């Protein structure tokens, strides 16, 4: 089975970069990425490749090479489905905000809409690939919708979850630890579909990293991987609080623990709390699935990872208030960083949002600087919480273009995203322009304590 045309529905953080890399590596395949969001598609097509809607190191170069050659961005979803031999579904699967499973289950309405659109449009056989992260056994529902249209088209459903992390997406896609492909490996047609997708990745990924499984294992492995990663962060964050009470240092503990080859050093960096569009959503989904099978202990176990993370965000904000003599009312607090991690403009579930909201509830005046996040996004994130009116958010939060504007005349500075540029700031100048005592809170263990204390800062860092 030779794939000549690929369609990807969803031009977001996963669809865009993944398809750009497939197009770059497979010049003989036409790849069309479609989305109902016209603004997003227009941005992907922007003449100036630096204006593509997603900031990822190295991405604009890949897009520049392939766009217009065999990589296309379009809002014509029907045409792309019609033409494709293989269709990736890469739409968002957020936590449900209504009805049964509200606040827990994954909202699959966008997935179902895609399936119905494919069923309506397709005239020849298709391989449909789940790229979105989905609850285990979603492929069954997809197949049901696709097979019951009665137009004689045959579908193979594959699960091919994406493991890229934002900020390193291009490198993760170019050099993946593994590519997971789940399919109906008990049938000849299923095996052929799996092989077709394996052949695509084999253009640049060695065969031993291409892992094929049954569909359910693939779907569940994605949720499991995210749960394990998030659990490590919550585990080290739990220890960070104990470190602060005991005089241990969480970085030293993480290093000592991580040198055990059975544990390993990654994902043991204590922080103000994990954010991002995936960890919380996917664990909540896992909790929901476990509960729906009556596995209450399993559900409780994973839910604790989220509870610990919420605690960490709250605890950091509370520490600021407590340190500033138990009140931040009317005080100016500068937040450095809004993105959920460095090297991305994504702010979904960023700890900064919750820290800011907490401080605003305590009547602080908040100044924000982030090198990549747009001003409207910061207000939109706060408005989404519905804690106060959008007018009030705009009156009490100022977003500025340089870190020094944020920190000038402030009572305290808090580092919330580990952007490299924050390390090299002129901290002496910042200190001189702040009110005294000048408090500096490092939520990322980014800054060196000694030099900051020598300047004169009252320095607090997570986990020490």
Q: Is 166 in the site for ligand NAD (CB under 6 A)?
A: yes
One of 22, 66, 91, 268 touching ligand NAD (CB under 6 A): 91
Is position 83 annotated as part of the catalytic site? no
Angle, helices 375-385 vs 351-361, to 10°: value is 60
Q: Is 182 in the site for ligand NAD (CB under 6 A)?
A: no
Long-range contacts (CB closer than 8 Å, 24 or more residues apart) made by 174-181: 174/21, 174/204, 176/205, 176/209, 177/209, 178/209, 178/210, 178/211, 179/205, 179/209, 179/210, 179/211, 180/211, 180/213, 180/218, 180/221, 180/222, 181/210, 181/211, 181/212, 181/213, 181/218
Give the Cβ contact number of residue 263 at 10 Å. 13
Q: Is 51 in the site for ligand NAD (CB under 6 A)?
A: no
Q: Is 249 in the site for ligand UDX (CB under 6 A)?
A: no
Query: Residue 394, exposed/middle/buried by CB under 10 A (0-12, 13-18, 19+)?
Result: middle
One of 4, 27, 37, 421 touching ligand NAD (CB under 6 A): 37
Is position 162 annotated as part of the catalytic site? yes
Which of 8, 26, 56, 162 is catalytic? The answer is: 162
Q: How far apart are CA 351 and CA 332, in angstroms?
A: 19
CA of 248: how far to CAs of 9, 239, 254, 415, in Å? 49, 9, 11, 22
Tell the smallest beta-carbon distance from residue 276 to ligand UDX (Å): 3
> Smaller CB distance to ligand UDX: residue 17 or 403?
17
Q: How far apart are CA 429 and CA 407, in angstroms?
A: 10
Backbone angles phi, psi at 440, to 5 degrees: -130, 120
Site for ligand NAD in 104-133 (CB under 6 A): 110, 113-114, 132-133
Q: Is 357 in the site for ligand UDX (CB under 6 A)?
A: no
Q: Is 305 in the site for ligand UDX (CB under 6 A)?
A: no
Q: Is 164 in the site for ligand UDX (CB under 6 A)?
A: yes
Bond from prior residue into 437 cis (ω within 30 degrees of 0): yes
> Smaller CB distance to ligand UDX: residue 331 or 341?
341
Could you tell me which of 210, 222, 214, 200 has the C-alpha nearest to residue 176?
210
Site for ligand NAD in 257-296 (CB under 6 A): 277-278
Q: Is 179 in the site for ligand NAD (CB under 6 A)?
A: no
Q: Is 35 in the site for ligand NAD (CB under 6 A)?
A: yes
One of 3, 7, 14, 196 touching ligand NAD (CB under 6 A): 14
Tell the smallest beta-carbon distance from residue 437 to ligand UDX (Å): 28
Q: Is 438 in the site for ligand NAD (CB under 6 A)?
A: no
Q: How far apart are CA 211 and CA 215, in angstroms?
A: 12
Which of 96, 222, 342, 408 is catalytic? The answer is: 222
Q: What tokens does 169 get?
A: 């997406």
Parallel, antiparallel or unpaired: strands 179-183 and 210-214: parallel
Q: Is residue 133 helix, strand or coil? A: coil
One of 53, 182, 275, 443 touching ligand UDX (CB under 6 A): 275
Tell the smallest beta-carbon distance from residue 12 to ligand NAD (Å): 2
Contact positions vs ligand NAD (CB under 6 A): 9-15, 34-37, 40, 77, 90-93, 110, 113-114, 132-133, 162, 164, 166, 277-278
User: Hey, which residues are catalytic here?
Assistant: 162, 222, 278
Contact positions vs ligand UDX (CB under 6 A): 162-166, 226, 229, 233, 267-269, 271, 274-276, 278-279, 340-341
């Amino acid at each position: 089975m030779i794939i000549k045309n690929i369609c990807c529905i969803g031009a977001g953080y996963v669809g865009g970069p993944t398809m750009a890399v497939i197009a770059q590596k497979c010049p003989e395949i036409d790849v069309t990425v479609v989305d109902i969001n016209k603004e997003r598609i227009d941005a992907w097509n922007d003449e100036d490749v630096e204006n593509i809607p997603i900031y990822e190191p190295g991405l604009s170069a890949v897009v520049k090479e392939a766009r217009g050659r065999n990589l296309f961005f379009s809002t014509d979803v029907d045409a792309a489905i019609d033409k494709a031999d293989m269709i990736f579904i890469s739409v968002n699967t957020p936590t449900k905000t209504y009805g049964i499973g509200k606040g827990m289950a994954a909202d699959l309405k966008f997935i179902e809409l895609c399936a119905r659109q494919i069923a309506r449009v397709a005239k020849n056989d298709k391989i449909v690939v789940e790229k979105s992260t989905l609850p285990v056994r979603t492929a069954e529902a997809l197949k049901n919708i696709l097979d019951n249209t009665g137009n004689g088209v045959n579908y193979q459903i594959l699960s091919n979850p994406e493991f890229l992390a934002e900020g390193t997406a291009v490198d993760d896609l170019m050099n993946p630890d593994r590519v997971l492909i789940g399919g109906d490996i008990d049938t000849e047609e299923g095996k052929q579909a799996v092989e077709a997708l394996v052949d695509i990745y084999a253009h640049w990924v060695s065969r031993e990293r291409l892992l094929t499984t049954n569909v359910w294992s693939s779907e569940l492995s994605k949720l499991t991987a995210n749960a394990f990663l998030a659990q490590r962060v919550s585990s080290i964050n739990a220890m960070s609080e104990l470190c602060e009470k005991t005089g241990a240092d969480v970085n030293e503990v993480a290093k000592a623990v991580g040198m055990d080859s059975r544990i390993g050093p990654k994902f043991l960096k204590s922080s103000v709390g994990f954010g991002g569009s995936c960890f919380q959503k996917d664990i909540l989904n896992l909790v929901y699935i476990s509960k729906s099978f009556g596995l209450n202990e399993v559900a409780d176990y994973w839910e604790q990872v989220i509870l610990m993370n919420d605690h960490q965000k709250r605890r950091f904000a509370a520490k600021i208030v407590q340190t500033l003599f138990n009140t931040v009312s009317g005080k100016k607090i500068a937040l450095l960083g809004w993105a959920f991690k460095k090297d991305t403009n994504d702010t979904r579930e960023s700890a900064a949002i919750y820290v800011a909201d907490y401080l605003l509830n305590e009547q602080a005046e908040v100044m924000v600087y982030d090198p990549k996040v747009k001003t409207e996004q910061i207000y939109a994130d706060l408005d989404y919480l519905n804690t106060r009116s959008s007018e009030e958010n705009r009156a009490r939060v100022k977003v500025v273009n340089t870190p020094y504007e944020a920190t000038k005349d402030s009572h305290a500075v808090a580092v919330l995203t580990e952007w490299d540029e924050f390390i090299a700031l002129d901290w002496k100048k910042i200190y001189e322009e702040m009110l005294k005592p000048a408090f500096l809170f490092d939520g990322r263990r980014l800054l060196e304590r000694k030099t900051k204390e020598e300047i004169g800062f009252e320095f607090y860092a997570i986990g020490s």
